[in-house]
Structure 1
């Protein structure tokens, strides 16, 4: 049977996240001096509250939590495992899962693992996981599912987003402090995307959230124009 493992950066609806054949490994969220396992020790709502006045960052899941995911899914009877992770261009999470998965499979000859770099984040990962679930339900093999997801990642699976403030990009160093400060004064909203190599790119800017959303939609329509 085919099981699916992913990290908690995925933005799956609850009804999919709680499926028996889906296992979500918590990434570590660092708030100030303390680290928490997302979705286990801290909720997304609590993280959002912290971000009102502070800066948070994420770090790799613990190797123990990753190994537990493989062990749990194997114990549930899933000997074919599809792993879908946050873009390798944004984090070392994909490589961590791949390394531990290879170790796990080497000790159990009946286990087959296919690792897919989503080249995306959040909803982009969720779309790939949703596609994998649908393909699995119609009877596609693990190899076919993994191949199809890889062909979509970074090409057909495109994410655009805008942010209500520049302060997080400024604090993370993705834009300069002066640029960020001036942008906040002028009510500039950034439009970001994850490019085909899985790396964050500042796609554009707009004055005010309404114009940012309109510009983001225009960028998306231009990107998918003529594609199937």
Structure 2
């Protein structure tokens, strides 16, 4: 049986430490902050990132350099026969498309999975890849299965401030000003390729209710009959107390489901800011 290495990026929420525990290679995402290059969980912690955000630092996301990606693959192929690489959704970054282009020079030994996920939904893809590998699947088979499942996940997010959506050009300054005065909270969704608007409500309580109702609807419609394969997730850029309270609200409404927990990836956080909350639902692969 071939030796298969699993690789992802830090947008999965998997830290370097957790990656070592799982036996997974985690490629750190790069950021430019005030024109200086940082790498997530290597030279940039979550706490430092949010401090820069609050200070209105000039922050821009980037993608791993081709050289860094290929260097990791080459290192893994010294020990393994094949590599399964699971980057963040191609709809949110060009890093997936870049990796797919680079993999063409590896004669099938590197399989890049474009399964349109990020944060805990991407993390679940890593666990699915490990499960499939341990079941004897090769890299190409793992890629095929994960990509067939790519729309079997959903994320709903609400934000504490409209400042960062305005800064990123996702809403106009006028809409941001009006929304702030009216205490409007946009609920955003990621179902596959990109971050989209889902609803607009007034206040935190209404935003939470909207997200929970959206998950309830997905469970009854999109994921009907798949309940035994589902896991929910709580993802936040808020404080620990608020995150724990949000997790308890999700657990109270859906006590039958396992709940994964992780900080939101910094690539998304820089566009929505601190204080955000999200709930996710992901279908796990079944052997």
For Structure 1 versus Structure 2, the TM-score category normalised by the shorter chain is: 0.7 to 0.9
Q: Tell me, yes or no, if structure 1 residue 57 matches structure 2 residue 60.
A: yes
Q: Tell me, yes or no, if structure 1 residue 24 matches structure 2 residue 26.
A: yes
In structure 2, what is the equivalent of residue 97 of structure 1? Answer: 99
CA 1:31–1:2: 2 relative to 1, 3 Å: same
* 1:39 paired residue among 38, 41, 62: 41
CA 1:223–1:166: 2 relative to 1, 3 Å: same
Q: Tell me, yes or no, if structure 1 residue 121 matches structure 2 residue 108.
A: no
| Alpha-carbon contact 2:16-2:41 (below 8 Å) kept | no
In structure 1, what is the equivalent of residue 135 of structure 2? Answer: 138
Q: Tell me, yes or no, if structure 1 residue 173 matches structure 2 residue 176.
A: no
| Alpha-carbon contact 1:120-1:159 (below 8 Å) kept | no
In structure 1, what is the equivalent of residue 263 of structure 2? Answer: none
CA 1:50–1:69: 2 relative to 1, 3 Å: same
Q: Deviations over 1:181-221 (max 9, x none)?
A: 2212222222111233x011011122222221221111122
Matches within 5 A, 1:46-85: 46-54=48-56, 56-75=59-78, 77-85=79-87
* 1:16 CA displacement: 4.0
Distance, in Å, in 2 between the alignment partners of 1:15 and 1:25 is 12
Matches within 5 A, 1:183-222: 183-196=179-192, 198-222=193-217
Aligned length: 220
| Alpha-carbon contact 2:8-2:85 (below 8 Å) kept | yes
CA 1:90–1:176: 2 relative to 1, 3 Å: same
Q: Secondary structure at the match of 1:149?
A: helix
* 1:14 CA displacement: 6.3
Q: TM-score, normalised by structure 2?
A: 0.71
Q: Secondary structure at the match of 1:182?
A: helix
After superposing the two structures, state which structure 1 stretch, 5-14 or 34-43, moved more. Answer: 5-14
Q: TM-score, normalised by structure 1?
A: 0.87
List gaps (5 residues or longer) in structure 1: none
| Alpha-carbon contact 1:29-1:38 (below 8 Å) kept | yes
Q: Secondary structure at the match of 1:61?
A: coil
| Alpha-carbon contact 1:2-1:21 (below 8 Å) kept | no
Distance, in Å, in 2 between the alignment partners of 1:53 and 1:41 is 18
Distance, in Å, in 2 between the alignment partners of 1:169 and 1:179 is 10
